[in-house]
Amino acid sequence: MRRILAAVAVLATLLAASACGPDDKAEQTTGTKIDVGVIAIIDTAPIYLGKQKGFFSKRGIDLNLTAEQGGAPIVKGVLGGKYQFGFSNVTSLLAATADGAPLKAVASGVASTGRTGRDFSAIVVKDGSPIRSARDLAGKRVSVNTLKNIGDTTVRQSVREDGGDPTNITFEAMPFPAAPAALMAGKVDAAWVVEPQLSEVLTQGGNVVASNFVDTAPDLTVALYFTSKDTIAKNPALVTSFTEAIRESMQYAATHPDEVRDTVGTYTTINDTVRIAMILPNWPQDINRTSLERVAQLGTVDGIFKKVPTLEQLLP
């Protein structure tokens, strides 16, 4: 009799498990582990903070964050299935969708403050440099995190705005964390950096010669969170939950600057001086479409896009 009862219990357990199989709607987000490609800069502080605050876990998302050098490898990671979601600058996303990549933005990522000299992104030089303004960058070596991307476009635009010729600038790719040391060692003449590397350079005596995002467009939408169209089709509930969580994270970050500063120190190495000095970006809920049209136009002029990007392909 005991054996019969045990067999019945096992059968009941198996039937209950099968009732919650892959086709059951209830499993869409519950306990779902997702991998997200990010960059270890101040831009992505909200998603790190949102993970700490439980904004993702309360929606059944087990969030794993992996840092990459720039937006381009994250785009490849999402397309290749390495990541379910990613954070990337708008140039990488526009270039990919112009080439037919099945990607879709799900939320705004980060935006410029729109304030010259007080933005979280800048072109910097070391103390004593003969480069005094953006026009002096003509013919110089400038570091960017990845080539033929938003760094190239916005640096060139700063030079144009200052009346210079950007055609013969030599761009050198290196991760943002490596840029301050390369600049101070004279390996490059100038560096494009964002926080916290911007404040790292300034605390070492460096100077800002241009606010490249501000020179490109007012309140520039710099980056977006995105996914593949395949993920949207197969698991729309997961996409909805992730979008809700990242929007809540960004809203929280926008109103808790001290926590943002503390969070940045958990995923990149900074000292207290840099942590306090950092200029925080804006984290708006809305995407500035006009600024993206400007980026698309400039990227086309610079030859970054093989085809003219269509915003409708990318934007939600």
* pTM attached to this predicted model: 0.87
Q: How far apart are CA 186 and CA 169, in angstroms?
A: 16
Query: For position 306, what pLDDT does the model report?
Result: 81
Q: Are 307 and 99 in contact (CB under 8 A)?
A: yes
Q: How far apart are CA 308 and CA 316, in angstroms?
A: 19
The pLDDT tens digits for 125-181 are 999 999 999 999 999 999 999 999 999 999 999 999 999 999 999 999 999 999 999
Q: How far apart are CA 20 and CA 25, in angstroms?
A: 8
Across 29-33, 87-91, 291-295, 304-308, least confident range? 29-33
Residue with tokens 């900074």: 270
Q: Enumerate domains of the chain plus CATH numbers.
A: 29-112+219-314 (3.40.190.10), 121-216 (3.40.190.10)
Q: How far is CA 2 from CA 9, 11, 192, in A?
A: 11, 14, 73
